[in-house]
Chain A
Amino acid sequence: MKAPPFHYHAPDDLASAVALLATLENARVLAGGQSLMPMMNLRLAGPDHLIDLGRIADLRRIEETPQGLRIGAMTTQRALEKSDLVRRLCPLLAEAVALVGHQQTRNRGTLGGSLCHLDPGAELPVVAAALDAVLHVAGPAGARRIAFRDFPLDYLTPSLAPGEVLTHVDIARAPANSGAAFLEFNRRPADFAIVSAAATLTLGVDGRITQAAIALGGVSHAPVRLAQAEAGLIGARASVSAWESAAHLAAQSPCDGDELYPADYRQELSGVLVRRALAIACQRAGGAAHV
């Protein structure tokens, strides 16, 4: 379990990082290293060059913008967890990030690393999916924006062109009268989720639902948005039967499985977690506690 030989680069600025990534053969970006380094030690990954983004100060920030939050890709999960700004503007992210790995791994693991690694059981991509996060990347051809829904191409594969680096992520602030909840099921608290569910709800003055977002993790190679369930909630009154209907759709959503956690079990979990997440989100939005 020793990584094969590789060259290590630690550029001080983004332009150098992009240039290195674009010119070196078989190069990979190193963020927090919490997935890549074990994969290298297991010799499942063998890059010839690692470009460590850790010295690029500009990539490590949490800022309030008129729309919400702008978070640098190299911001550690622990920094997100401890950020008052995140808790205030994006409570869903605050709730989910505390469930990522262990405190020790959150000290090094980053938002950008998690989003680009795209582990199906990871929490942060599910948050990005639920909140329609916008990803900013820099590359040899300049900067561009990618809606998160277009970001995952396949299992562990983001839609980054050769030489591109994720630089920061924009997340809209949670609207007034909204609530969010992130739930996951796993065997031990620090594990990747077998299934996770993120839900947000906004209640109108008449108590009817004006906005809903539901995303599932662990059911496919990438997070899944439940558009039909969301549409069914808009205009509905917050109620147990509304959550049940959404849960029913969640449990019917197509799902991958394996021998240990088969698809039908994951679908059951999807239904349970969506039902519970909606009820909690509603309560946090100021809805009646009994629903």
Chain B
Amino acid sequence: MNERHGGGDWIGRSAARVEDQVLLRGGARFLDDIVMPDLAEATFVRSPLAHGVIRSINCDAARALPGVHAVYVFADLRRVLTQDAIPLALPAGGLRFDVDPTCLAIDEVCYVGEPVAIVVATTRRIAEDAAALVELDIEALPVVVDPVEGLQPGAPEARLTCPDNLVARTKVDYGDVEGAFEGAAHVVRETFRLNKGGGHPMEPRGVVARHDELTDQLTLWNSTQMPHRAKAMLVATLGLSERQVRVVTPEVGGGFGTKAVFHPEELATPAAALLLKRPIKWVEDRFESFTASIGEREQIWTVEAAFEADGRLRGIRGTLVYDHGAATPYGIALPFNAATNLIGPYILPAYRMLIDLCLTNKTPAAPTRGAGRPQGTFVMERLLDRMALRLALPRDEIRRRNMIAPGQMPYTIPVKQRDGSMMVYDSGDYPQSQALALKAAGWADFPQRQKAAREQGRFIGLGLANYVEATGRGPFESVSVSIGPSGQVVVSSGATAQGQGVKTMLAQVVAQVLDVAPQSIHVVVGDTSATPAGLGAYASRQAVTAGNAAFAAATLLANKAKIAAAELLEASVEDLVIREGVVEVKGVPGHGASLTQIARALAGTPGFALPGNLPPGLSAASDFMTSGLSYTNGCHLAEVEVDPDTGGVKILRYVVVHDCGRMINPMMVEGQILGGVIHGVGMTLFEWMRYDREGQPLTATLADYLLPTSDVAPRLEIHHLESPTPLNPLGVKGAAESGTIGAPATIVSAIEDALRPLDIRVTQLPVTPPQLRKLIRDAQSSELRP
């Protein structure tokens, strides 16, 4: 591009992040840093029971406490609401009924932590003192904790208002499944239980709501991934016009899906601010983030796979029971992602997965980094390892025999997606990805190293897994680029930033076109008043959608600048290039007009014509609309050491080969991979949101719920392939979740390898030391039997 049109050389460079100056100097403003006159603070009275009917709520003592402004229950807030429920559920054919949450419980509580009342006081401490004085009379009801049990006849009802607990039933179904099993040489069967976890951003959720009487505008500062959707929810539920609502995200300290879904507090707080006529801040504390923030991952798979004698897959069938929690904020997306991502980079001729979604009395489930896909990948990779062992085939070989070849791209799988289109893999070289990973990790030499270690009494193992990730979900993202008379380049987008480097990504794309330094560009994201339409951060999409929108908008702006410059320079447009922010005549350095000069000319002078008869202003906007999902892929290898006496597992080494198409900033891609893998390490070895039989959370502090810390995070070796996608001009795919998707399957493959010849079958996540120790003990005793 540079030769013909000019422009910079920024795409593909590990440029320093434009965000970091302010972050590293402590100048960033996060949600809790926002202060303003008369700002009150809120806390929520939450249900202490997993299920019950509210008999009464007595707020008298709480309201009488000095410093308390108000205590509101649902009936109070309802005065400013247009409807009871928050209309969240994504439409889906399989849904049997919608269970939308309410901003405060009306008369039934369905999980521990469900908000029942909002207490507003001069300080958070006083609000908590008052919350402790609210007398809740809740009649306990039977609870559903386990989704499999919840679907049994005679199970208690998780919600009295629903006909039963089967909130949705759907399936993935193609090919001749019966035929695949009838003619199979081998069949492997397994049941997998994958437990609940969460995103757990270091900065919890939070909002500040202020209604300005003068402008009649409600502003919600919100630590969210999706400010435009939050605005739409407020418009719908508060009966306000779009002009009256603005949602702004300050700096956000991590999202990971947790902050994508609109939660009840995001409505209850502004509703209370409207009633109280006073700005209110609510910042989630850690206990609330364990009980009131969405999580997911609980899935129970019963599955069998049919193989040819040579290890090629004939078909897979089974059932998937999914824990939906107490509401359905995200429809059927998660188990559907899980079931479809099972297919991965392999040729699967026939497939039927019956999916049941069960309402339970646990915190509602919604996407957490990976969004169901790590589970599907885990199941497929475990089945392949199992079959390899039975056939005495190397684990890499069985995968090689099943892989989609690069020549088969684009590869269509007859599964309909959410938008009605078929599932199409756009590009990628799966065999090369695996080959590179095997080489990098020393796969061929490992058996010798394993043998040597075993002679020293050490049990080391090497595991591998391949996966794909559907990225860049649509329908669109918007970007505008403008340069005013000051010369400042401003990029505004509906994309949002949670620390992943979205501003840098957008700045680099625009810098590529305008040949200016990314650091000189001012990027505005996460403000509904700066960009009229937008969607935000979910489904590893922003480089694909906003990145390409930025590229298109900057190109439009550059073209406009050239038309204006052609008149100013008395040159023809075709002869102009942009170099270092100056439009100049090709081959005549110094003969040019800077973008600033052009912006001034296009700002207009009273009574004079604009150059080139152009519309005013040096600005352009573009929406990128996706034509399909782009599939990132990768191969992970992990080397672990297992202590067979304790069941302890240590990751010694971790290799990633990653292909997300063309990379805009490799350093930031690697940051995403690293964070993603560590989330996957957590899911595999540590994180488990546990509940007792009464639905009481057992792991509601960071001491009890084990997040992976830097002590247990492996050092990563990352290698890249770049198979550009044909689906967008930049050729980019998403990178935010693939680390998480590959990790559980890889680490478990390594654990099982470390313990061979014992036939250890890990079927549960996370792998805890007592469980692994039990598997070892059982395998040892069956080994001893004649």
Q: Interface residues, chain A, CB within 8 Å of chain B?
A: 1-5, 38, 42-43, 185, 187-192, 194, 259-262, 265, 268-269, 272
Contacts and interface: CB of A to CB of B under 8 A. Distances in A.
A190 B712 CA distance: 10
Interface string B116-136: 000000011100110010000
A265 B770 contact: yes
A191 B690 CA distance: 18
B645 A42 contact: no
A269 B685 CA distance: 18
B709 A190 contact: yes
Contacts of A194: 769
A190 B711 contact: yes
B773 A260 contact: no
A260 B706 CA distance: 13
B769 A1 contact: no
A199 to B, nearest CB: 16
Contacts of B768: 187, 260
Interface string B93-129: 0000000000000000000000000000001110011
A261 B770 contact: yes
B701 interface: yes
Interface string B678-706: 00000001100010000000100101001
B770 A260 contact: yes
A265 to B, nearest CB: 4
Given A1-B287, A2-B125, A4-B129, A185 B648 contact: yes
8 shortest A-B CB distances, which residue pairs? Answer: A1-B285, A2-B125, A265-B770, A272-B645, A189-B711, A2-B128, A188-B709, A187-B706
A260 B648 contact: no
A195 to B, nearest CB: 9
Interface of A is mostly: loop
A187 B125 contact: no
Nearest to A265: B770
Contacts of A261: 770
A268 B770 CA distance: 10
B257 to A, nearest CB: 23
B773 A1 contact: no
A185 B706 contact: no
Given A4-B129, A185-B769, A188-B709, 5 more contacts: A2-B128, A4-B128, A187-B686, A189-B712, A259-B698
Contacts of B285: 1
B241 interface: no
Interface string B7-38: 00000000000000000000000000000000
Contacts of B648: 185
B286 interface: yes
B549 to A, nearest CB: 41
- Chain B, interface residues (CB within 8 Å), range: 20 to 34
Nearest to A258: B698
A2 B709 contact: no
B646 interface: yes
A187 B132 contact: no
A260 B124 contact: no
Contacts of B708: 188
Most buried by A among B125, B287, B770, B773: B770
Contact of A272 (B124, B129, B646): B646
A188 B770 contact: no
A229 to B, nearest CB: 18
5 contacts: A4-B129, A5-B125, A187-B768, A188-B706, A268-B645
A265 B773 CA distance: 8
B685 to A, nearest CB: 8
B754 to A, nearest CB: 17
B129 A5 contact: yes
B770 A42 contact: no
A188 B132 contact: no
Most buried by A among B129, B287, B645, B685: B645
A1 B646 contact: no
B461 to A, nearest CB: 19
B287 A262 contact: no
Contacts of A3: 125
A188 B681 CA distance: 12
B690 A260 contact: yes
Most buried by B among A5, A261, A262, A269: A269
Contact of A185 (B132, B646, B703): B646
B286 A1 contact: yes
Contact of A42 (B701, B706, B769, B774): B701
Nearest to B777: A268
Contacts of A268: 645-646, 773
A43 B125 CA distance: 11
A192 to B, nearest CB: 8
A225 to B, nearest CB: 22
B458 to A, nearest CB: 14
A262 B770 contact: yes
B607 to A, nearest CB: 63
A81 B36 CA distance: 45
Nearest to A189: B711
A265 B647 CA distance: 10
B767 to A, nearest CB: 11
A142 B217 CA distance: 67
Nearest to B647: A265
A194 B703 CA distance: 13
Contacts of B701: 38, 42
Nearest to A269: B646
Contacts of B709: 188-190
B777 to A, nearest CB: 8
A261 B648 CA distance: 13
Contacts of B286: 1
A43 B285 CA distance: 13
A246 B685 CA distance: 31
B287 A42 contact: yes
Contacts of B770: 260-262, 265
Nearest to B41: A2
Contacts of A1: 128, 285-287
A192 B774 CA distance: 22
A187 B711 CA distance: 10
A43 B706 contact: no
B646 A188 contact: no
Given A2-B125, A185-B769, A260-B690, A43 B132 contact: yes
Nearest to B128: A2
B125 A188 contact: no
Contacts of A260: 690, 768, 770
B128 A187 contact: no
Interface in B552-585: none
Nearest to A185: B646
Contacts of B287: 1, 42
Nearest to A273: B646
B132 to A, nearest CB: 7
A249 B105 CA distance: 55
A280 to B, nearest CB: 15
B711 to A, nearest CB: 5
Contact of A191 (B123, B646, B706, B774): B706
